[in-house]
Structure 1
Amino acid sequence: MATTRFPDASPRKNGAALTAPPAPDLPVPRPRVPRGACTAHASPGALVITAAEHEFARLFGLRPKEICGRGLFELLRSSAPGRLREQLTALSSGRCRRVTRKVTGRDAAGREFTAELTATAVRAPAGGTTGVLVLLRRTETEAVRRTGRVDRAEVTDRAEAVDRADAVDRAGAERKEAVAGAAEGDRTAGRPVLSALDAQVLEGVASGESTVQLASRLYLSRQGIEYRVGQMLRRFDAPNRPALVARAHALGMFAAGQWPPRVLPERVR
């Protein structure tokens, strides 16, 4: 009895093992910021403000460069300060991911305001907490909730304080600050010094992160990332990102033998 044999189409015997197509490299979604909320970044552990939006600084009658270096507990108070400190300490150490509390602060006119604080831990790809994202949403005062009216004098005083604070910063205050910081760092015996945020951007570029990935991880816009990278390209006289990383290595900016790359603490102001 004749039998018909069919060729074996097994991928193993033909030496062509099937593999699943690679997953697309999708950007990490940025967290949704509630309406009326403003953000700042704080260092883990010490909870010192390292970067802040204009709106965040304006709540306290300060400019962004003035609020940097202030401690979170210096700016905000809680009805249970011990509990708030315990929760934020647990957030910094990685024992929890988010803290939400009612807090109070003082505006430029010295008036107390209430706000809702939401603090979220920023995780590094290799594990560990690299920072704390602080969202602050100012809530209505008791007088507004009770009467439905806003104190015009309070609004006027606040607007005048905001205008005074913004008079110097309008039309590119951050750019002036970055240029001034770069010039100051370059004068220190050929040992350039970066701001904390620029150091994180440089570390991400050296690790091969894209603009979208950096913007998502650092909670900045893509234009903000491109602006900071462009500033460093001009500062280090580099034509592109690989040349920027090579130049930073040549200047001894990175810790030797460490991956992912980390800027030396003495090179961060």
Structure 2
Amino acid sequence: MFSALVDSPQFSAGRSAAGATGRREERPSSDQPGLCMALLDSKLTIRQANQDFFRHFATPAESSVDVLAAPPSESATTAPDVCGRKFRDLVHPSVRQPLMGQFERLLKGRRDRFAAHVVALRPTGDAFTGSLAATAVSGAAHDPASVLVVMRSGQGEEDDAVVAPRKKLLSEIDARILEGIAGGLSTIPLASRLYLSRQGVEYHVTGLLRKLKVPNRAALVSRAYAMGVLTVGTWPPRVVEDFIK
């Protein structure tokens, strides 16, 4: 199935310049978001991918390699920093848990495909948003033997700008306060839970508003989810550990 997709326009466009010279086509302009495609095995390890996938996820030295021009048996050695990695490692921590849950249902045969919003990570640690579609590829026993993943990144820089890279943004107490606000707690219950004074809670809330550049608590929660600081798909709300100092 993947071999057939390699011959599709999305793949062949990236390979048209590769031939006897072994040279690859120049990278498309940044205003033309690529269609990233990869084949994962039953353990969600990346086995094959197209050039757009490597442009997004390979290190600069490796992304210049024409992976699909090499035989499949050479893929793992052609770009070792991508092929052989777990797909979960390319996904932002804020969406990792619910996304892996959907993959699990796919591999257990509970569904044939799914589509989801995704926040992915470049090798630099910067995050970008996009859409993902995953389809189960059946083996000889009709059980899912692999998964075809198709990702399309956002249409412009504004789609990436709000998502925070993985860095230590919050202290432990700030994280607990943000979780409480996202869970609907007001100042007094927060103070009681965290053994702080009311003024202490207000001090940390003011710092959070300033740090995330928002005017009020409602915007603080919305901004935290948009940045990936709060984990998607969990209750009560939880700050992603990667953002805690």
TM-score band by shorter chain is 0.3 to 0.5
Structure number with the bigger relative contact order (C-alpha 8 A, sep ≥ 6) is 2
TM-score (norm: length of structure 1) = 0.38
TM-score (norm: length of structure 2) = 0.41
Rg bigger for which structure?
1
